[in-house]
Structures are given as C-alpha cells and as structure tokens.
Amino acid sequence: SRRRRDGNLKEAPATPPYNLSEYFKQFLFPQNECELHSFRLSFSQLKWDRWIIAPHRYSPQYCKGDCPRVVGHRYGSPVHTMVQNLIYEKLDPSVPKPSCVPAEYSPLSVLTIEPDGSIVYKEYEDMIATKCTCR
Amino acid sequence: SPHSRDSAVPDRISGLLAAPEDSELTPLLRPKGVRRGYALLPPLLKVLPHQGQQNWDSEAPRLQPDSRALRYMKRLYKMSATKEGIPKANKSHLYNTVRLFTPCSECKHSHSDLMKGDLHSVDLLFNLDRVTALEHLLKSVLLYSFDTSVPTSSSTCVCHLSVKEHDSSSQVCPSVSHSVAFSLHFEVRKRKWVEIDVTSFLQPLIATNRRNIHMAVNFTCLMGDPRPNTKQNDFINMALVPPSLLLYLNDTSEQAYHRWNSLRHRRKNPAWPRQRSSPFADVTGDEGRENTQLKRA
C-alpha cells in the first residue's frame, strides 16, 4: 500500500494550496441566522395602562433571520421546509423561501379593568414567543 | 387578499381575527384596503372600548373600580403570576380567569337591634354581563373587607344570605322570593378580607346564564361585650362596606391558557427538535455535511 500510495502521489498533479478559510466558510452559520430576539414594551407606551393594571411590562419576543438551506436538524423543521427550499432554489423562485417564525409560546397573565368597572384576572395562551423554527 | 386569508385560516384562528362588529378600528388596526379590521391582539383588544378614528388615548369612559377591590385583585395577581406576568405553575390553581364585581346598587335596610349584636342587612344587585358563555364557574365568594384599623374587642359574626329572584314588577330592591340562610362564624379581629363561599347559591344561576344576581346579605355580629354600645355598633357598620362578588372561572376558549393543555402538548412533542436524517440529504448535501460536522464535533 505504501508503494501504491507513493505511486499515487507521484501521479497526482500538485493541487493548488486549498484555502482553508474558504473550506470552513461553508460550515459557518449565516450571520443573521433565524433566532429569537428580545423586545420589551410597557403598556403605558401604548397608553393602555389605564385599563391594563398588570403586568407593567411585557416581552413578547420575536423571530428574525435567514433560514439556512439545511434546516432539518437545527430547527425541528418538517421535511416540507427542505422541499420548499429546493423548489425555491431549483424550480420556481416565486415560491417563497422558508420563513423564520415562532414555534413555541408561553402564556401571559393580565389584570384589566373592564368597561363596566369590574376587574378581571385572565391567563392568555401564546402571548410570549419562546422558540423559533423555519417553515 | 383578506378573503383568501379568511378561507385559508383554520377556524380556531378565524375566531381571533373576527373584527369587533360595530367598531371603527383605528388605521393601526385596519391597514388600507383591508375589508375587515383584524383584532391584532385578539383577547386584549376585544376588551378595548370601540374607537372611532381617534388615537387610543381618548378612550371611551370607563367606570373606575373600587380601590379596595383593586387592592385585592393586585394581591391575587401577585400570588398567581410572576413579575413578568408568567402564570405560576400552581397545581391548586385551576382557574385561568377571576372576575370581581362590585354591586351596582344596594338597598340598605337597617333593622332594629334584634339580639345582642347589630343586624346589618343589604340587598345587592350584581350585573354579570362580562361573564362569557365559555367561562365555567369553579368557585364564587362574597368578599368583605374590614377596616381593621378601628379598635374593637373580638367579635364573631354570623352571616345570613338569601338569594333573590328578580321579578319584572319589583323595584330595584326585589321582594324575597326564595332565600336560603346559612351561618358562618369568623373572627373579625384577625382579618382584613373575609371570603364567604356562595358557590352553591350561584352555580345554578350562572349555569343558566343569569345576567343579574340579587342578593340580600345580613350580618349578625355578636360583640365580645354583650351590652351593645354605640361605639361598637359604629364599628360593625363601618366595617361592613358592601361586599364584592368574586368569580373563579375556567375559560374554555382558545385564547385562554389551559394548564392541562400545555402539559398534554409537551407530552405530545417530546424532545424538540428531533434529530432526523431527511430523505433529501443527498440532494442538499445534508448527509455529507452532517457527517463532516459530526466528525468535526
């Protein structure tokens, strides 16, 4: 095997020195990859603090960023996402690329004053994004 | 177009997007050319007063709640949710909605002093229009706040409650049609709030979607000192401000948070995201990339 390997080496044309950084570039995550971003608002900014007594501040969060071509293992995306990406890349660019959207939420408790003056404590579903996905 | 959006939207969401019928939504909520205004924050916006084209801060007049009631609900909020507003995972707390109503009118009947104590009786009218058909009653209490700053010897109170039916001929203070009395002893001295459970009385009325509840509540508070003196009588009258009605409800609508549902949801989707090789790996070079990555890792 050593003789064969030396033989191969002699035949192989000298490849140009491969630029390692180019090679690794393909594995880097895109700069602005799809991920969860924080956003805090207070109901007084919306002038709703007269009827929303609590909480004073609310962080709904949001998802933003590009969906990498290979999303299967990073975002729990269904295979359909990859199909959609293939269609966009190879068949019909008018089909949109997969989008970065929330995948999971957490609830929020709100204390409000109703128009008739009664007071209500309510727990609402899906008010704070906690995880993103590409779909 | 909005139409296609409607048809594409599953029914569980289309309810959220239903526009408040008669409201003129501000441009913020009704983008140009959109046929129907969409409530962007459905549950929260539904409680918004319907606005003309003004901006939000000129809100429709809103009745201001009783300060004691507000204090109680803020305390309930602190017990039920974190500072960020996340509901606490409290097993005993099955409700996802608590409504507090203050009586909209009362007729005070001051009876003569029947026994050693002082009899304080009020007829109360509660309007429950805000309770939706999807909110199921779990528990309801009459909430008395006592002004404990008033010096008093220890006293125990017995409460008699009678729920009244409203008949069309009656004036604001209805005639008693059926009443059920029950007694409840409690030490006034130690507490600021007293909750009197009236679930058994209200359950049938709320289950039949009754909107107006009439109640006559009277207290007989036997003071520690048998001789009724004016000072202590003042105490009882001062302490017994009209009670509020507290309803602990389970809202079964889509927007409401269901503890059991979130547990079920997590059980349905175990470790998320799942590691999975896709059938298209070779096309997108995913397999090779994944192996290289795994090796690199």
C-alpha dihedral over B8, B9, B11, B14, to 10 degrees? -130
- Whether residues B273 and A73 touch (CB distance < 8 A) is answered with yes
The model's confidence at residue A18, banded by pLDDT at 50, 70 and 90, is low
> What CA–CA distance (Å, rounded) separates A49 from A33?
35
pLDDT at B158: 63
pLDDT at B240: 57
Nearest to B85 among A82, A110, A133 (CB): A110
Choose the mutation target among A124, A127, A128, A135 for the interface with B, i.e. most B CBs under 10 Å.
A124
Of the two residues B235 and B129, the one the predictor is more confident about is B129
The model's confidence at residue A16, banded by pLDDT at 50, 70 and 90, is low
Of the two residues B256 and B169, the one the predictor is more confident about is B256
Question: Is it the case that residue B17 has pLDDT exceeding 70?
Answer: no
Choose the mutation target among B23, B44, B57, B213 for the interface with A, i.e. most A CBs under 10 Å.
B44
The model's confidence at residue A21, banded by pLDDT at 50, 70 and 90, is confident
pLDDT at A55: 93
Question: Is it the case that residue B184 has pLDDT exceeding 70?
Answer: no
- Whether residues A73 and B290 touch (CB distance < 8 A) is answered with yes
Among A22-26, B4-8, B102-106, B171-175, the range scoring the smallest mean pLDDT is B4-8
> What CA–CA distance (Å, rounded) separates B8 from B4?
6
Cis peptide bond upstream of A55, omega within 30: yes
Tell me the average pLDDT across B244-266: 81
pLDDT tens by residue, B32-71? 444 333 333 445 555 444 443 333 444 556 677 888 889 9
Cis peptide bond upstream of B273, omega within 30: yes
Question: Is it the case that residue B110 has pLDDT exceeding 50?
Answer: no
Sequence letter at residue B2:
P
Interface of A with B in 34-63 (CB under 8 A): 46-48, 50-55, 57-59
Of the two residues A135 and A17, the one the predictor is more confident about is A135
> What CA–CA distance (Å, rounded) separates B206 from B212?
9
The model's confidence at residue B267, banded by pLDDT at 50, 70 and 90, is very low
Chain A partners of B243 at a C-beta cutoff of 8 Å?
A: none
Question: Is it the case that residue A10 has pLDDT exceeding 70?
Answer: no
Distances (CA, A) of B20 to B49, B63, B254, B296: 10, 21, 17, 56
pLDDT at B288: 42
pLDDT at B286: 44
Query: In chain A, what percentage of residues exceed pLDDT 90?
Result: 49
pLDDT at B81: 92
- Whether residues A117 and B65 touch (CB distance < 8 A) is answered with yes
**Tokens 């459905």 — which residue?**
B42
Nearest to A109 among B81, B277, B279 (CB): B81
The model's confidence at residue B194, banded by pLDDT at 50, 70 and 90, is confident
Nearest to B130 among A74, A111, A114 (CB): A114
pLDDT at B10: 41
Question: Is it the case that residue B247 has pLDDT exceeding 90?
Answer: yes
Question: Is it the case that residue B76 has pLDDT exceeding 60?
Answer: yes
Chain B partners of A124 at a C-beta cutoff of 8 Å?
A: 43-44, 255-257
In this structure, which long-range contacts are made by residues A12-20, counting pairs with CB atoms below 8 Å and at least 24 apart in sequence? none
pLDDT at B20: 39
B93 CB-contact burial (10 Å; exposed 0-12 / middle 13-18 / buried 19+): middle
DSSP type of residue B46: H
Nearest to B47 among A69, A114, A133 (CB): A114
Distance from CA of A81 to the nearest CA of B (A): 11
Of the two residues B213 and B188, the one the predictor is more confident about is B213
pLDDT tens by residue, B145-178? 776 554 455 556 666 666 665 544 444 444 444 4
- Whether residues B47 and A51 touch (CB distance < 8 A) is answered with yes
Question: Is it the case that residue B291 has pLDDT exceeding 90?
Answer: no
Choose the mutation target among A69, A87, A118 for the interface with B, i.e. most B CBs under 10 Å.
A118
- Whether residues B276 and A73 touch (CB distance < 8 A) is answered with yes
- Whether residues B256 and A57 touch (CB distance < 8 A) is answered with no
**Interface membership of A25 toward B (CB under 8 Å):** no
Chain B partners of A57 at a C-beta cutoff of 8 Å?
A: 84
Of the two residues B287 and B241, the one the predictor is more confident about is B241
- Whether residues A125 and B254 touch (CB distance < 8 A) is answered with yes
- Whether residues B101 and A118 touch (CB distance < 8 A) is answered with yes
pLDDT tens by residue, A70-123? 655 567 888 888 899 999 999 999 999 999 999 999 999 999 999 888 999 999
